[in-house]
Amino acid sequence: MEGIKKSLLEAFIDAALREDVKDGDHTSLACIDKDSRDRARLIVKDTGVIAGISFAEYVFKRLDGSSDFIRLMEDGQDVSPGDVAFEIECGTHAFLKAERLVLNTMQRLSGVSSMSRKYAKLVEDLPVTILDTRKTTPLMRFLEKWAVRVGGCSNYRDGLYDWIMIKDNHVEASGGVTAAIQKVKSYLEATSKNLDVTVEVRDMGELEEAMHEGGIRRIMLDNFEVPELKEAVSLINGRFESEASGGISYENLRAYAETGVDFISVGALTHSAGSLDMSLKIQKHKN
């Protein structure tokens, strides 16, 4: 899983198994021989873009080092009902511990990748980048942002720590756009931190104020209507990166993209993504 730290992945898997298994899978312990092994298949039951096959392989091999994982598809492929993404042969106890973790995670990540692909394809012929936001599931952000990339969109900041974003609440609490930017400049100088800066503006007045003060990388044009956004992008004229945010849906995405804005941030890539239906079933033993 490109771009994902092993430590994050293992911490997530450990926490998820601890939540589900605790002192043991007592149903399996009670009715399945400890040396039993089985073969299962991941069957897709929906249309979309699959994500999480790499995750599934990691989980199964972590719980059973002797497992045989056979990939039949790759992350990022379009899928349809009836497609088989992979087969797994491993200890039955390990399989039943992993089953729900694998399914829940893959269904969620595939929903995010499917939503991201839908948005990306709509504007693939335009010079605009579709970004995700911090509107993610707590503790699953690193996985959901990976799924956004699988779907063809891009990540913004990972969190509050790696990019300075001056939003409306910061502006209000600081006493205005100019004051907020000036305080950020002083903070970066005092801490010797090398962080990119975005400032959110709500109207043309705040835009002109931000441009006059400078010292920022990107201007986020929040809740601008399409005609006003086009005017704002023209005013910025490449001096800063431009970003549209707020009130943007799949239905109006292309109209916003055609204004010439550099980036469009869309919370829906994660917060409105559903789950892609799939099942993970042990294959019946043949007599």
62, 135, 185, 230: which one is catalytic?
135
One-letter amino acid of 67: S
Q: What is the mean pLDDT of residues 105-109?
A: 98
Q: How would CATH label the architecture of 6-112+274-282?
A: Alpha-Beta Complex (3.90)
pLDDT confidence of residue 284:
76
Whether residue 2 lies in the annotated active site: no
* Active site (annotated) includes residue 62: no
- Per-residue pLDDT of 264-279, as tens digits, reads 999 999 999 999 999 9
Q: Residue 287: pLDDT band by 50, 70, 90 thresholds?
A: very low
Q: Which of 200, 206, 218, 243 is catalytic?
A: 200
Verify whether residue 284 is a known catalytic residue: no
Q: Given this model, what pLDDT does residue 2 score?
A: 84
CB 76 within 8 A of CB 111: no
- Read off the pLDDT of residues 167-219 as tens digits, 9 standing for 90 and up: 999 999 999 999 999 999 999 999 999 999 999 999 999 999 999 999 999 99
* CA 107 – CA 111 distance, rounded (Å): 6
List b or e across 26-49, with b for residues whose CB sees 16 or more CB atoms inside 10 angstroms: eebeeebeeeebbebbbebebebb
Fold of 154-265: TIM Barrel (3.20.20)
Average pLDDT over residues 35-57: 97
Known catalytic residue at 97: no
pLDDT of residue 197: 98
Domains in the chain: boundaries = 6-112+274-282, 154-265
On whether the pTM is more than 0.85, the answer is yes
| Total length of the chain | 287
Question: Considering 100, 185, 202, 230, which one is annotated as catalytic?
Answer: 100
Q: Which of 46, 83, 222, 243 is catalytic?
A: 222
Q: Where are the alpha helices (H) located in 152-203, listed in sequence order?
A: 168-174, 177-191
